[in-house]
């Protein structure tokens, strides 16, 4: 059974909706989502009929497409997947698919030793595991880091298209400190992942201010087709060259941050550098002294504090003092809490 492009768009949209278990989806909600997707990807403005979406759900449930999607209706109204981990993108591969993937892997693996193709290594490893998983009836031998409860992942695909197509968008966003969400006109330049969270980086129209939105704090996005896109006046990737994490303003300058690590934990820092600029300044039996050249931000502060007593920030003085204040404040918190009585 051949599937046309419009049907694939609808199936993928329904799949994305039903994977989002933080919302209840009625048939009307699915119709609206599919209509928006068809407009976004194909410019179709006449929407989609109720009957068409009902047939799509029926096809997804059936064996015709190989999906066998476990779509159920709760309270006679709300559509969802009975299996919370199901997605049509996770359907088993056929033997022909596995053969083709093995051939592709054979070609790709020839490039793994070349420096120009280092970025392929992770992709090849994931692809190899996908093939082995299918051949071993679902048993995987690699567990990639993931957060099943992370919000906002449904915005990755549309945001990527807005970045690629240089589209101005309206973002409904609510920061952790804000009581209500706010609307922002935004020029998106880059999608960035850090510590298994996703962010979109760009500039606000109102203040020409650089900003990073966390996808899990976004409520809604939409294209502003009549609003011209403002091209970046700086190199986007170069902006993050001297950053750990995602937080940096135009005004921030990098610092040479020096820190000592005890001999037990120094090998860990050597094999997993905090930043690409990391270098060893001194090493003896008591400690190893490292230096990184980065801007001082919230993410770096958390990174250093996570080492606790195993690390000592040497300089610059302002950064050393900032860490001391944080550690003293943490100690005060422990001293204020009454000691718990142990059971005898």
Domain boundaries, the chain: 5-89, 95-135, 153-239, 255-335
Count Cβ atoms below 10 Å from residue 42 Cβ, excluding itself.
11
Q: What is the pTM of this model?
A: 0.58
pLDDT in tens, 46-82: 878 999 999 999 988 988 777 888 999 998 899 999 9
93-113 per-position pLDDT tens digit: 556 665 666 666 666 555 554
E strands, the chain, in order: 71-74, 78-81, 169-173, 182-194, 197-204, 210-214, 218-223, 255-261, 279-283, 288-294, 311-315
Which is higher by pLDDT, 310 or 92? 310
- 159-186 tens-digit pLDDT: 888 998 899 999 999 988 888 999 999 9
> What is the 3-class SS of 207-238, one letter each residue?
CCCEEEEEHHHEEEEEECCCCCCCCCCCCHHH
What fold, for 5-89?
A: Arc Repressor Mutant, subunit A (1.10.10)
Q: How confident is the model at residue 116 (pLDDT cuts 50, 70, 90)?
A: very low
Q: What does the pLDDT read at residue 313?
A: 94
pLDDT given at position 237: 81
Q: Which CATH number fits domain 255-335: 3.30.870, 1.10.3470, 3.30.70, 3.55.40?
A: 3.30.70
Give mean pLDDT, residues 208-216.
Answer: 88
pLDDT (tens digit per residue) in 16-31: 899 888 888 999 999 9
For residues 15 and 148, what is the distance between their CA atoms, to the nearest angstrom?
Answer: 16
Asked, as a colleague might, if the bond just before 316 is cis with ω within 30 of 0, I would say yes
The CATH architecture to which 153-239 belongs is: Roll (2.30)
Q: How far apart are CA 91 and CA 86, in angstroms?
A: 9
């Amino acid at each position: 059974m051949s599937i046309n492009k419009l049907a694939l768009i609808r199936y993928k949209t329904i799949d994305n909706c039903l994977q989002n278990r933080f919302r209840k989806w009625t048939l009307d909600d699915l119709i609206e989502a599919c209509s928006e997707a068809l407009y976004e990807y194909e410019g179709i403005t006449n929407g989609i009929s109720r009957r068409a979406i009902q047939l799509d759900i029926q096809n997804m449930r059936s064996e015709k497409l190989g999906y066998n999607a476990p779509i159920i209706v709760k309270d006679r109204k709300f559509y969802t997947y009975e299996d919370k981990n199901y997605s049509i993108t996770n359907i088993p591969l056929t033997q022909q698919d596995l053969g083709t993937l093995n051939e592709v892997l054979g070609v790709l693996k020839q490039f793994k030793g070349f420096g120009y193709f280092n970025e392929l290594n992770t992709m090849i490893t994931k692809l190899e595991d996908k093939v082995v998983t299918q051949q071993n009836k679902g048993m995987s031998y690699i567990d990639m880091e993931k957060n099943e409860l992370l919000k906002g992942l449904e915005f990755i695909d549309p945001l990527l298209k807005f970045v690629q197509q240089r589209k101005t968008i309206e973002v409904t966003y609510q920061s952790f400190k804000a009581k209500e969400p706010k609307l922002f006109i935004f020029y998106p330049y880059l999608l960035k992942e850090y510590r298994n969270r996703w962010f979109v980086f760009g500039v606000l129209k109102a203040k020409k201010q650089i900003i990073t939105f966390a996808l899990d704090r976004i409520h809604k996005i939409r294209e502003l087709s009549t609003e011209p896109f403002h091209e970046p006046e700086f190199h986007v990737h170069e902006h993050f060259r001297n950053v750990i994490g995602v937080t940096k303003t135009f005004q921030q300058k990098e610092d040479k941050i020096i820190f000592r690590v005890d001999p037990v934990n120094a090998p860990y820092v050597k094999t997993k550098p905090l930043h690409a600029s990391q270098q060893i300044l001194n090493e003896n039996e008591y400690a190893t002294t490292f230096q990184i050249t980065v801007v001082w931000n919230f993410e770096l502060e958390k990174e250093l504090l996570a080492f606790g007593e195993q690390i000592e920030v040497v300089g610059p003085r302002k950064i050393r003092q900032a860490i001391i204040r944080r550690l003293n404040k943490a100690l005060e918190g422990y001293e204020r809490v009454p000691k718990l009585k142990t059971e005898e």
